[in-house]
Structure 1
Amino acid sequence: MTYQEGTIDSAFAALADPTRRAVFEAVIAEAQPVGMLASNFTVSRPAISQHLKVLSDAGLVDRQRVGTRNIYFARREGLQALRDYLNGFWDQALASYETGLDKWLKENKA
């Protein structure tokens, strides 16, 4: 299984924090400015900005300037890298299951 180690590592590290994960989920649901995001959390607006910076550094979110605001949105590429990485485990698990089942069936023929 190959992947960009820094990208995957930083993405998992970024998503390990529950508040940051919730911020990420909010940005996935709807592109939003910091103020709108902060209104949905009990942490301060600067804390939300810090969470967004970590998510951005991990390649999971990006921002677009609209007037005086930065609108944050999920990056498809960041999500795809995580998905590809996790799908590799799924494929391995299915192959392992199939091999184990075949072996069991051969050993336990009626």
Structure 2
Amino acid sequence: MTIYGHWEVHSDAEDFFRKKRISLTANAAVDVCRLATERGLLISRIEGGLGDARGFESRLDCIWDGDDPPVDRNRMRQNNLHAATYVREKAGSHNAFVLLAVPFDRTA
């Protein structure tokens, strides 16, 4: 974890599942995308930005919208792989990411 003043950018993907409303390093965000699939969660939005002593600044050039539930398990897996790819592509110019994950509809 990197601490900028009172703002934390987490490097452990498990922090995402233990806490709410946190920003993650690129590596941790990619891990969250992988773990989310295993936990039945669909990554529905990613906002990348800059984390520093002032906090997290979301950047308009780094917003990704995924699928909305309901989706089937295969579509959830594909969506989350696309989310991880997006984070990797943006990691060079953004040092922090905020993810929104929602349960996928198992009945779809």
TM bucket normalised to smaller: under 0.3
TM-score in terms of structure 1 length: 0.23
The structure with higher relative contact order (CA 8 Å, sep 6+) is 2
Say which structure is richer in helix: 1
TM-score in terms of structure 2 length: 0.23
